[in-house]
Amino acid sequence: MKKLMIGNEAVARGLYDGGIGLVSSYPGTPSTEITEFLAEYDDIHSEWAPNEKVALEVAFGASLAGVRSACAMKHVGLNVAADPLFTLSYTGVSGGLVICVADDPAMHSSQNEQDSRRYAIASKVPMLEPSDSAEAYEFSRAAFELSEKYDTPVLLRMCTRVAHSRSIVEPGEREVPERKRYVKTPEKYVMMPAYAKRRHPIVEERTKALAEFSENCPFNRVEMGGDEIGIITSGTSYNYVKEVLGDSVSVLKIGMTNPLPDSLILDFASKVKKLYVVEELEPVIEERCRILGLDPIGKSLFPMIGEFSQKTVAAAFGIEDAPTVSADTEAPARPPMMCPGCPHRGIYYVLAKKKITVLGDIGCYTLGAQPPLCAVDTTLCMGASVSGTHGFLKASEPDVAKRTVAVIGDSTFIHSGVTGLINVAYNGSPSTVVILDNSITGMTGHQQNPTTGYNIKGDPASKVDLEALCRAVGINRVRVVDPYDLDECERVLTEELEADEPSVVISRRPCVLLKYVKAAPPLAVDREKCRSCKRCMGLGCPAISLTDGKASIDATLCVGCGVCDKLCPFDAIGRKGETK
Amino acid sequence: MKTVNIMIVGVGGQGSLLASKLLGRLLVDEGYDVKVSEVHGMSQRGGSVVTYVRYGDRVYSPLITEGEADYIVSFEKLEAARWATCLRPGGTVIVNTQQIDPMPVIIGKATYPSGILDELRAKGVEVEEVDALTTALEAGSAKAVNIVLMARLAKRLDIPREKWIEAIGKSVAPKFVEMNEKAFTLGYDR
| Nearest C-alpha in A relative to B68 | A322
pLDDT attached to residue A131:
98
Strand extents, DSSP E, B39-186: 48-56, 69-74, 87-96, 126-130
pLDDT band at residue A328 using 50, 70 and 90 as cut-offs: confident
pLDDT band at residue A579 using 50, 70 and 90 as cut-offs: very low
Q: What percentage of chain B carries pLDDT values higher than 70? A: 98
Question: Which residues, in sequence order, are bridge partners of residue A159?
Answer: A103
Exposed e or buried b for every residue in B135-161, given b needs 16+ CB within 10 A?
bbbebeeebbbbbbbbbbbbeebebee
pLDDT band at residue B42 using 50, 70 and 90 as cut-offs: low
- Ordered alpha helix ranges (H), A278-368: 284-291, 310-316, 344-353
Checking if the pLDDT of A324 tops 90, the result is no
B104 touches chain A (CB under 8 A): yes
Residue A487 Cα distances to A316, A393, A491, A570, B85, angstroms: 58, 26, 6, 17, 47
Q: What interface predicted TM-score (ipTM) does this complex get?
A: 0.95
Rounded mean pLDDT, A298-305: 98
All residues at 6 or more sequence positions from A259 whose CB lies less than 8 Å from its CB, including other chains: A126, A207, A210, A211, A214
Could B103 and A370 be called an inter-chain contact, meaning their C-beta atoms sit closer than 8 Å?
A: yes
Checking if the pLDDT of A318 tops 70, the result is yes
How many angstroms separate the CA atoms of A96 and A90, rounded? 15
Exposed e or buried b for every residue in A43-54, given b needs 16+ CB within 10 A?
ebbbbbbbbbbb
pLDDT attached to residue B41:
64
Could B85 and A326 be called an inter-chain contact, meaning their C-beta atoms sit closer than 8 Å?
A: yes
Rounded mean pLDDT, A274-279: 98
Q: What percentage of chain A carries pLDDT values higher than 90? A: 94
pLDDT attached to residue A278:
98
Q: Which of residues 68-97 of B touch A (CB under 8 A)?
A: 68, 78-79, 81-82, 84-89, 91
Residues of B in contact with A445 (CB under 8 A): 40-41
B67 touches chain A (CB under 8 A): yes
B132 touches chain A (CB under 8 A): no
| The residue count for chain B | 190
B65 touches chain A (CB under 8 A): yes
CB-CB: which of A329, A333, A445 is closest to B104? A333
CB-CB: which of A29, A30, A334 is closest to B11? A334
B50 touches chain A (CB under 8 A): no
Checking if the pLDDT of A325 tops 70, the result is yes
pLDDT attached to residue B36:
96
Edge-to-edge strands, sheet with A3-6: A3-6, A165-169, B33-37, B48-56, B4-11, B69-74, B87-96, B126-130
How many angstroms separate the CA atoms of A11 and A107, rounded? 22
| Nearest C-alpha in A relative to B55 | A167
How many angstroms separate the CA atoms of A495 and A279, rounded? 54
CB-CB: which of A4, A445, A537 is closest to B34? A4
pLDDT attached to residue A179:
94
Contact B7, B68 (CB under 8 A): no
pLDDT (tens digit, 9 = 90+) per residue, A376-424? 999 999 999 999 999 999 999 999 999 999 999 999 999 999 999 999 9
Contact A508, A478 (CB under 8 A): no
| Nearest C-alpha in A relative to B80 | A331
Least confident of A94-108, A412-426, A538-552: A538-552
B35 touches chain A (CB under 8 A): yes
Q: What is the mean pLDDT of chain A?
A: 96
- Ordered alpha helix ranges (H), A92-130: 117-123
Checking if the pLDDT of A580 tops 50, the result is no
Residue B15's nearest CA partner among B134, B156, B166, B172 is B172
Q: Residue A358: helix, strand or coil by DSSP?
A: strand
Give the domain extent around B81. Answer: 4-189
Half-sphere exposure of B76 (CA within 13 A, CB side): 25
pLDDT attached to residue A395:
98
| Nearest C-alpha in B relative to A328 | B119
Residue A31's nearest CA partner among A104, A96, A82 is A104
Determine which helix (DSSP H) or strand (DSSP E) holds A575, and give its type and residue range. strand A573-575
Could B62 and A167 be called an inter-chain contact, meaning their C-beta atoms sit closer than 8 Å?
A: yes
pLDDT attached to residue B44:
66
Beta strand A165-169 with A3-6: parallel, antiparallel or unpaired?
A: antiparallel
CA triple A565-A570-A572, angle to 5 deg: 55
How many angstroms separate the CA atoms of A363 and A382, rounded? 9
Tell me the pTM. 0.97
pLDDT band at residue B40 using 50, 70 and 90 as cut-offs: confident
Residue A243's nearest CA partner among A287, A337, A308 is A308
Checking if the pLDDT of B77 tops 70, the result is yes
How many angstroms separate the CA atoms of A14 and A407, rounded? 39
Rounded mean pLDDT, A319-329: 83
Contact A7, A28 (CB under 8 A): no
Q: Omega before A259 cis (within 30°)? A: yes
Beta strand B48-56 with A69-74: parallel, antiparallel or unpaired?
A: unpaired
pLDDT attached to residue B39:
80
Task: Using the Cα atoms of residue A108, residue A12, residue B59 and residue B23 in order, give the sign of their dihedral.
Answer: negative
CB-CB: which of B46, B107, B112 is closest to A371? B107
Residues of B in contact with A134 (CB under 8 A): none
pLDDT band at residue B43 using 50, 70 and 90 as cut-offs: low
CB-CB: which of A243, A364, A444 is closest to B61? A243
pLDDT (tens digit, 9 = 90+) per residue, A160-186? 999 999 999 999 999 999 999 999 999
Closest Cα of chain A to B96: distance in Å?
15
Contact A33, A5 (CB under 8 A): no
Q: What is the mean pLDDT of chain B?
A: 92
Closest Cα of chain B to A13: distance in Å?
18
* Cα A30–chain centre separation: 6
Beta strand A573-575 with A550-553: parallel, antiparallel or unpaired?
A: unpaired
Checking if the pLDDT of A547 tops 90, the result is no
Checking if the pLDDT of A142 tops 60, the result is yes
Contact A253, A233 (CB under 8 A): yes
pLDDT band at residue A198 using 50, 70 and 90 as cut-offs: very high
Checking if the pLDDT of B16 tops 90, the result is no
State the CB neighbour count (10 A cutoff) for residue A184: 7
Checking if the pLDDT of B65 tops 90, the result is yes
Contact A357, A404 (CB under 8 A): yes
Could A334 and B102 be called an inter-chain contact, meaning their C-beta atoms sit closer than 8 Å?
A: yes
Give the number of A-B residue pairs with CB atoms closer than 8 Å: 204
Determine which helix (DSSP H) or strand (DSSP E) holds B24, and give its type and residue range. helix B16-29
All residues at 6 or more sequence positions from B121 whose CB lies less than 8 Å from its CB, including other chains: B127
**A333 backbone dihedrals φ, ψ, rounded to 5°:** -65, 155
Could A165 and B11 be called an inter-chain contact, meaning their C-beta atoms sit closer than 8 Å?
A: no
Residue A140's nearest CA partner among A105, A101, A113 is A101
CB-CB: which of B37, B42, B112 is closest to A336? B42
Checking if the pLDDT of A231 tops 70, the result is yes
pLDDT attached to residue A577:
54
The CATH number given to whatever domain includes residue B8 is 3.40.920.10
Could B109 and A371 be called an inter-chain contact, meaning their C-beta atoms sit closer than 8 Å?
A: yes
Give the N- to C-terminal CA distance of chain B in Å, as an integer.
Answer: 30
Region of residue A374 (left: phi > 0; alpha: psi -120 to 50; beta: else): left
What is the total count of domains within chain B?
Answer: 1
